[in-house]
Amino acid sequence: MNWKQRGTALLAVLATAAVAGSAATQTQAQTKPIKIGYPVILSGPGALIGEPSMKGAQMFVDEQNAKGGVLGRKIELVVRDTKGNADEAVRVARDLILRENVDFLFGTLTSAEGPAVSPIAKENKIVFVVPVVKTDQLTAKENLHPYVFRTTTNTTIEGRTAAEIMAKWPNIKRVGTISPDYAFGQDVTRAFVTHLKKLRPDIEIVDQQWPKLGEADYNPFINAQMAKKPDAVFSSLWGGHFVTFAKQAKALKYFESFNSNFLGAGEAGAIETARAMGDDYPMGIWANSYDAFNWKDGPPAHAEYIKRLAAFTKEDPPSSWPITGYIGMQMLTAGIAKAGSTDSDKVSKALMDITVDTPIGKQTIRGKDHQANRAQFWGKMVKDPKYGFAVMTPPIYIDPLPFMD
């Protein structure tokens, strides 16, 4: 063999090796896990919500992986604690994208965290699915971009729904509000007050209290509100913040002062909250929740989900917050499957107007505002002797469509 022949043979070998290497790289990319970065609160008062929500997402991932994953690839959650701090949520999100090389972002919990992380998703052109954050600011026209999608309800839906409920209460003329002084509390209270005045012009808003998020001493706010003698109160204190407030309020006979005409948004009716409080819970108030284990009017898929959730979490009855993570992850993976790709631009387009069969029925993410038609359960909180804590009786799932625009 002459030098020319040897050179030709060497080039052929190198070309074959290059093709083989390329094929191996492609195969490796197709089989490696789909990594989903999950910044969420796992410490402090917000952990009462963050941990069960994360468990719901993990439950869906485990179920999906048992079926082969998505696009033939397993799903891997890369979870990081935000500590309930927006700056930490931003730092964690950047780290997940730049160092962990996640394919998608999922999560955040407070209405400070979500809007702070959204620009990071936009900057890096990575789909960000939000299963809990409710502030309208997240998907407002000036903040909306191709990569952010919300699978939970929002403050307009929640506030208007609460107003519809209270407007039907008899003998209510003087109403007070108490909400945390940040995006969620401000937005949901504004939606409630505006809609209530539209429905009941005869009602007067006599007092509005704005404790800071994470307030430890609610006594000054409670006493100030009781002095105004409201007939009913709307609140959006949530998670451990509601627990702290309600215990202090109960000691001052706050709820009795207006015959328990208290409407607790912010998931004050969540099983996690009621179970944590036991007899300290203010029985007889109205509240909301993302899920209700005792929903008798739901589809068969919901009852089946509750059984699987109880087994997964080893809780009976199971928590209400896991469904936020479960449905959010269900919709993200449905978008990936529809796109046939993990490319965020393709998945973003696939998520527009997507409809998914979830444990609570069909859920659709609207293309025009990236908002799911997600509602909540509302009802009176009554002590259940079987469980020893307050249970929503009966839970009513209220259609969100009349309140979305």
Determine the pLDDT at residue 4. Answer: 52
Q: How confident is the model at residue 237 (pLDDT cuts 50, 70, 90)?
A: very high
- Class of the CATH domain delimited by 32-152+301-364: alpha beta
Same fold, 32-152+301-364 and 156-289+377-403: yes
Residues 268-275 have a mean pLDDT of 94
Model confidence at 13: pLDDT above 50: no
Q: 């859920």: which residue's tokens? A: 363
Residues 308-332 have a mean pLDDT of 96
Determine the pLDDT at residue 46. Answer: 86
Residues 390-394 have a mean pLDDT of 96
Domain boundaries, the chain: 32-152+301-364, 156-289+377-403
Q: Which CATH superfamily is domain 156-289+377-403 in?
A: Response regulator (3.40.50.2300)
Determine the pLDDT at residue 23. Answer: 45
Determine the pLDDT at residue 203. Answer: 98
Determine the pLDDT at residue 217. Answer: 98
What is the value of pTM for the model shown? 0.90
